[in-house]
Amino acid sequence: MVDNEYYSQAVHGPYESFNIGDLVLEEGGTIRNCQIAYASFGTLSAAKDNAILVPTWFSGTSKIMEQAYIGPGRALDPEKYFIVVANQIGNGLSTSPHNTAWPLGMANFPKVRIGDDVVAQQRLLKGRFGIETLALVVGGSMGAQQTYEWAVRFPDAVKRAAPIAGTAKNTPHDFLYAQSLCDAITSDPAWAGGWYREPHAVREGLRRHSRLWAVMGFSTEFYKQELWRPFGFSSVDDLMLNFLDATFLPMDPNDLLCMAWKWQRGDVSRHTGGDLAKALARITAKTVVMPISTDMFFPPADCAAEQRLIPKGELKVIDSLWGHIALFGLDAGYIEQVDRALKQLLDTPA
Give the residue numbers marked as catalytic: 141, 295, 324
Sign (positive or negative) of CA dihedral 201, 204, 210, 216: negative
The reply to whether 146 sits near a copy of itself by the rule CB under 8 A is no
| Angle between helical axes of 114-124 and 142-153 (0-180°, round to 10) | 70
Cis, bond preceding 14 (omega within 30 deg of 0): yes
Query: Which three-class secondary structure state does DSSP give residue 207?
Result: helix
322 binds a copy of itself (CB under 8 A): no
CB of 60 to a copy of itself, least distance (A): 22
Binding part of the chain for a copy of itself, among 92-100, 114-122, 170-178, 258-266 by CB under 8 A, reads: 170-178
Helix (H) or strand (E) holding 36: strand 35-41
With beta carbons less than 8 A apart as the criterion, state whether 161 and 148 touch. Answer: yes
Give the Cα separation of 36 and 3 in Å (integer).
Answer: 19
**Complex with a copy of itself: residue 11 or 236, whichever CB lies closer:** 236
**CB of 26 or CB of 183, closer to a copy of itself:** 183
Q: How far is the CB of 230 from a copy of itself (least distance, A)?
A: 16
**Type of residue found at 324:** H
Residues 50-109 that bind a copy of itself (CB under 8 A): none
Separation in Å, CA 318 to CA 49, 60, 300: 28, 21, 9
Work out whether 221 is an interface residue with a copy of itself (CB under 8 A).
yes
d(CA 195, CA 132): 40
In the set 30, 187, 234, 348, which binds a copy of itself (CB under 8 A)? 187
Q: How many whole angstroms from its chain centre is CA 186? A: 22
Plot region of 94 (φ>0 → left; ψ -120 to 50 → alpha; else → beta): beta
Question: How near is the Cβ of 177 to a copy of itself at its closest, in Å?
Answer: 5
171 binds a copy of itself (CB under 8 A): yes
Query: Least distance in Å: CB of 205 to a copy of itself?
Result: 8
Query: Which one, 84 or 303, has the nearer CB to a copy of itself?
Result: 303
Binding residues for a copy of itself, total number by CB under 8 A? 33
Pick from 204, 281, 293, 304 the residue near a copy of itself by CB under 8 A.
204
- Please choose, out of 69-77, 183-191, 310-318, 328-336, the segment that lies near a copy of itself by the rule CB under 8 A: 183-191
Asked if 203 interacts with a copy of itself (CB under 8 A), we say: no
Q: Residue 313 and residue 280: Cα distance in Å, rounded?
A: 10
| Interface stretch with a copy of itself, choices 17-25, 49-57, 157-165, 168-176 (CB under 8 A) | 168-176
* Burial class of residue 3 (count of CB atoms within 10 Å of its CB; 0-12, 13-18, 19+): exposed
Q: To 10 degrees, the CA torsion angle through 211, 215, 219, 223?
A: 60
Which one among 220, 234, 344, 348 touches a copy of itself, defined by CB under 8 A?
Answer: 220
Interface stretch with a copy of itself, choices 19-27, 62-70, 273-281, 299-307 (CB under 8 A) = 299-307
Nearer to a copy of itself, 215 or 277 (CB): 215
What residues have CB less than 8 Å from 75, skipping those under 6 apart? Answer: 69, 338, 339, 340, 341, 342, 343, 346
Question: Binding pattern to a copy of itself, positions 233-262, x when CB under 8 A?
Answer: ---x--------------------------
* Interaction between residue 193 and a copy of itself (CB under 8 A): no
Choosing from 4, 94, 219, 320, the residue that interacts with a copy of itself (CB under 8 A) is 219
Q: What are phi and psi of 227, to 5 degrees?
A: -70, -10
Q: How far apart are CA 278 and CA 306, in angstroms?
A: 11
User: By the criterion CB under 8 A, which residues form the site for a copy of itself?
Assistant: 171-177, 179-180, 183-184, 187-189, 204, 208, 211-212, 214-216, 218-224, 236, 296, 299, 301-302
